[in-house]
Chains A and B, each alone.
Chain A
């Protein structure tokens, strides 16, 4: 009965109710869109990193620390005996890193050289372009960003200078066999890819690797005392942290919007209690308890939220659908940010649980905000209320 009465009241409120519902609905549409964007980007970035870099897991040489340049020169270890058969079977991909210096068009540039087997099939990396059969030079793959900074083009020849494992300078003449569109910038920026065998030969490291990329997680059980398993939580920690920071940064404007919406509800409720004193007195005289009247007013506020949720889903649907199908293309410059997931239009997915959680939270907040002014009713005397005092 209270709900029915509350519904009749908010319909009777006309434009005032409509504005309240519209404000809350706009906030909700914004929130759902924002949550969809961050969730989709995180999912896309993780998928791309899995396909291009992480595979089913990574074993990293203990002597290599990606955040400590001092370790890069000697950041490798021999591929463990137990892993050899998996390497031959193509289920483990050894990759060797080496810092080096490249000389494109007579300029000098630092680069991280990575050696990957040209016949690997675990990663989406286009390693077949490293096949040296038709070339007198060692084929090299670089990413689009690296091509931009080094001004290298497909077919161009340049010299790589590096130190072998004994500390002596060695060099290789490389030819860019492919400029790849790589969605994971860490595999692109400042990196030159060559065939693992060529890099091992020039480094005098016949059986070394910096990382072992596993086809599936079951291979983490192999004995590799000089390697450390990097679990997904550790591997994606930076990405997760960044999204968390970005979401926190965005929570301020969304918080302001929610505050405005709640202020609208609070104002409407406070005004209603002031203007509808006679009605409150009447309801009281007809036998409603103060608790029931408070519940009536609180329900009216909560119904705004319910109506706004329905509107947000229905009216926001074309927007959600557009971004889910057409996607959200980020400007080109974003690719140089060094984060995966920026190279293709972001097609939105909407995390149902997160969205439901947000709706429930906002519903409870609206109930609370509606209840705050309604508490005054408890202090009203029915006789005074009937007289409108």
Chain B
């Protein structure tokens, strides 16, 4: 009798584990959800400083994972500032001086508009399934949603973060919480995703809280007010000439 119960329990446990998709298929589903040929979005970034907060509004265009164009709309001080990422290059156009500056090397470590995001974070080309090998560590209920916990390890050298830990919504295949680690194992950044809404045939988080875990502060809030996927965007949008227009 005892043996029969153990056998039944073992069978049930095996069934439960085998019911969970593989880590690779979870990553592929996330990539499918989060990436697209093109996107156009309007966003607000709320940067919390020690004494005050400020909101930076922008319109953003992207093509694949290596072309990105942003134009800042507000506040008036930053209005007209543009940022272009094309491949490994990043340029900033400052309307005040009418000059385009290439951001590279040490300057990539600087924070973007005083936020918890660095230019390096913009330079990342994320396709988790391609760059990371993963394993399912367990399950958790996070923010009222059933999630898998995955640990991702870089497959190749050169990726900014050697290790990531993510909580993935089981039914929507959206990352709800992400921890980014240095090679030494030190936690560097955390990202909290919420307000996940259906846009077309995909689920997409409309709110992200970025936090540099080595730095004090409340982090930087990122609101996606509108987003469109796979719409035609002129190729000229991702050229340096567009910066001064």
Contact = CB atoms under 8 A, between A and B. Distances in A.
B161 interface: yes
Contacts, number: 77
A172 B157 CA distance: 19
Given A161-B188, A166-B157, A69 B111 contact: no
Contact of B214 (A161, A166, A167, A170): A161
Interface string B91-134: 00000000000101111011100000000000000000000000
Given A73-B106, A168-B183, A107 B216 contact: yes
A69 B183 contact: no
A168 B161 contact: yes
B106 A110 contact: yes
Given A159-B186, A164-B183, A169 B161 contact: yes
Interface in A154-184: 159, 161, 163-164, 166-173
Interface string B157-176: 11111100000000000000
Contact of B109 (A71, A101, A159, A202): A101
B105 A103 contact: no
B215 A106 contact: yes
B217 to A, nearest CB: 8
A159 B181 CA distance: 14
Contacts of A103: 214-215
A108 B160 CA distance: 18
A69 B106 contact: yes
Contact of A70 (B105, B188, B215): B105
B216 A169 contact: no
A110 B110 CA distance: 8
B184 interface: yes
A69 B105 CA distance: 7
B221 interface: no
A172 B184 contact: yes
B196 interface: no
B162 A69 contact: no
Nearest to B123: A167
B184 A171 contact: yes
A108 B212 contact: yes
A99 interface: yes
Contacts of A166: 157-158
User: Which of B106, B110, B111, B215 has its CB near the most chain A CB atoms (within 10 A)?
Assistant: B106
Interface residues of B, number: 25
A164 B106 CA distance: 13
A161 B154 CA distance: 18
Contacts of B111: 108
Contacts of A105: 216
Given A106-B215, A161-B214, A168 B105 contact: no
Nearest to B216: A106
A359 B218 CA distance: 68
A236 interface: no
Contacts of B217: 106
Interface string A65-79: 000011111100000
B182 interface: yes
Contacts of B216: 105-107
A383 B102 CA distance: 85
User: Which of B102, B161, B215 has its CB near the most chain A CB atoms (within 10 A)?
Assistant: B215
Contact of A161 (B102, B106, B159, B182): B182
Interface string A228-250: 00000000000000000000000
Contact of A170 (B105, B106, B158, B182): B182
Nearest to B181: A169
A162 to B, nearest CB: 9
A201 B106 CA distance: 20
B159 A168 contact: yes
Contacts of B102: 70
Given A108-B215, A169-B162, A169-B188, A99 B183 contact: no
Given A106-B216, A108-B212, A108-B214, A169 B106 contact: no
A99 B162 CA distance: 19
A171 B186 contact: yes
Nearest to B107: A69
Contacts of B157: 166-168
Contact of A99 (B109, B154, B182, B188): B109
A70 B104 contact: yes
Contacts of B109: 99-101, 110
Interface of B: 102, 104-107, 109-111, 154, 157-162, 182-184, 186, 188, 212, 214-217
Given A74-B105, A159-B214, A173-B186, 9 more contacts: A69-B105, A70-B104, A70-B106, A105-B216, A108-B215, A110-B110, A163-B160, A171-B184, A172-B184
Query: What are the 4 closest A-B residue pairs judged by CB atoms, nearest first?
Result: A106-B216, A166-B157, A99-B106, A171-B182
23 contacts: A69-B106, A70-B102, A70-B104, A70-B105, A71-B105, A99-B106, A99-B109, A100-B109, A103-B215, A108-B214, A108-B215, A110-B110, A161-B214, A167-B157, A168-B158, A168-B182, A168-B183, A169-B161, A169-B182, A169-B183, A170-B184, A171-B214, A172-B184
Interface of A: 69-74, 99-101, 103, 105-108, 110, 159, 161, 163-164, 166-173, 202
